[in-house]
Amino acid sequence: MWFRNGFMVLAALLYLVPGNDNATAQDQPTHEQKVTLENAITMKIVSGDIDDTTTRLANELAIVLDSPKTLRVLPVLSGGGEKNVSDLLYLKGVDVGLVRTDVLNYVATREVFSGVNGRLRYIAKLHNEEVYVITTAKVATLQDLANAPVNFGRTSQGNMATAELILAALGIAVQPVHLDHAEAIQKIRTGEIAATIVVNGKPNAFVSNLSAADGLKLLSIPFVDPLTELYLPSSLSSDDYPDLIGKGETVDTLATTVVMAMYNWPKNHSRYQRTARFVRAFFSKFSAFREAPRHPKWKEVNLGANLPGWTRFEPAQEWLDLYGTTVPGEPALAGLRKSFEEFLSDRLDGGEQTLSTDQRKEMFRTFLKWKENQTEATIQVHMTSATGIGPFAGTIRASNTTITVAGAEEQALLLQPSLKELTPGPHALHLHSFPNCGPSEKDGVMVAGLGAGGHLFAEQEGKTFGSHLGDLPDLQVAPDRTASEIIVVPRLTLADLLERSIMVHASGSDTSSRLACGVIN
């Protein structure tokens, strides 16, 4: 079978990667080959201007994801907003754009670009960016800006669409002007304009350099019904901008979300394949973006969040379907899958070396079967319920190990439970067929834990076996209702747990009710 020879295949693929240690001086690429290689691995990402949070994030994408001979991320400064959409549609060499969702809605509903919904795809929703209305201490509310000159930012910047949408929803008509924000601040101070509208993620360097001591202030923006479809309520505090907001005070505002977008290339196009490699690298290394010294806005990102009305790039959706998303309490196994995907993305270079979803899945199983692989998974266990999933009951750590049987070394699975609130005594413990701990209907009644299906390996070729590999040693629960006694399971490995569930029964009887369950997904 293919997966049995997975590591042989992987070794062959790695040998083909340019720069392999086995290469000789005669194997060095020609100038033309170097040009081809550099362009084949480079992803150009357009962000905003130099002060924009998206520019900082694009730079961090380059820092984290750059990998010699497989992937290079090249950030490109742009106008942001409509200009980034235009770049994705028309500018040669642009692969990905960071665009706000209100701008996407703006260009789609106003048909600024014909058929834009079908011409673009999104990879993931990213962080939120706050709206700042900067004015002088003489202006009390947004309504005071009516009929006054207000800066919307340079033409085609994202600020322009946002300013227009918000003020229109609030019924406030102003005289738009289009200036660089630094120039706009000077004109606010001289009284030539009343305010400027800035959209950027906090903390933002440009806004941080402004001070109430210079007569400047931020205006509150009310969160009213016409704005709820495109914006989120947010706030700015003295902790965010101590020189602009009084200590302990807050300013109500709105936020919009940035999305990572791309052109909708056909599947057989090299740009499609290159972006797919970028997506796998980004998703698999995403945890690195949440760590210092990366921008705190990365912590707002939920890779699995959907963008209504738009279609996700298919390889991104496939990755999410296969590996899930990063959420609090996520099983360590999902992190292991991401580490494996990172391993592949660093070493495989597209073309003939691109693995299909099925090949990647089989190689991952082979990786987990490898007896020298000392990885582990933490399984979250919940009590079962006829109405859904019950309370959290603890965890079971699973890892590969070896045992000696009749003088020979044999693979085994080590289970380390840390469970609570269970009935003292022995409890039957099984692997079940499906990664579903929810209830299912039987004879017109919802039965807790039945979604897990039957015992794994209990039936083969139409025969039912009383003893089978899915029948694990009993779980022993102490008088204090906790379970921590280690269980060794011969002949099984982490690979056998994938896409299964582990079930704790109500007693030592294999046929007793299903009490607690953990999904191995």
Question: What are the pLDDT digits (tens) for 268-303?
Answer: 898 998 999 899 889 888 888 988 899 999 988 888
Most confident of 145-149, 279-283, 297-301, 342-346: 145-149
Distance from C-alpha of 5 to C-alpha of 293, rounded to nearest angstrom: 41
Determine the Cα–Cα distance for residues 312 and 124; give it in Å rounded to an integer: 7
Q: Record the pTM.
A: 0.61
Got the DSSP string for 98-141? EEEHHHHHHHHHTTSSTTHHHHEEEEEEEEEEEEEEEEETT--S
What does the block give as tokens for 331?
A: 């099983």
Instruction: Give residue 515's pLDDT band: very low, low, confident or very high (50, 70, 90).
Output: very high
The type of residue at 15 is: Y
In contact, 514 and 503? CB cutoff 8 Å: yes
Residue 22 pLDDT more than 50? no
Q: Rounded to an integer, what distance in angstroms lies between the CA atom of residue 403 and that of residue 406?
A: 10
Average of per-residue pLDDT across 229-236: 88
Going from the C-alpha of 371 to that of each of 335, 342, 415, the distances in angstroms are 20, 21, 16
From CA 454, how far away is CA 460, in angstroms rounded? 12
**Per-residue DSSP letter, 230:** T
Q: Where are the alpha helices (DSSP H) in 135-180?
A: 158-170
Write the single-letter amino acid at 75.
P
**Does residue 252 have a pLDDT over 90?**
yes
Burial status of residue 259 (CB atoms within 10 A of its CB: 0-12, 13-18, 19 or more)? buried
Token pair 């705190």 is found at 296
> Cα dist. 64→48, 71, 83, 247, 285 in Å?
19, 11, 26, 36, 8
**pLDDT tens across 409-425, in order?**
777 888 999 999 999 99
In the block, which residue shows the tokens 């290159």?
274
pLDDT at 214: 92
Q: What is the pLDDT of residue 340?
A: 66
- Give start and end residues of each alpha helix (H) in 202-269: 205-208
Antiparallel, parallel or unpaired: β 149-151 and 175-177: parallel
Q: What was the pLDDT predicted at 467?
A: 45
Q: Which residues are paired to 520 by β-bridges?
A: 500
Q: Which pLDDT does position 442 carry in this prediction?
A: 85
To the nearest 5 percent, what fractions of the chain are helix, strand and coil? Answer: 35, 30, 35
Backbone φ, ψ for residue 130 (5° rounding): -85, 155
What secondary structure letter does DSSP report for 67?
B
What pLDDT does 23 receive?
A: 45
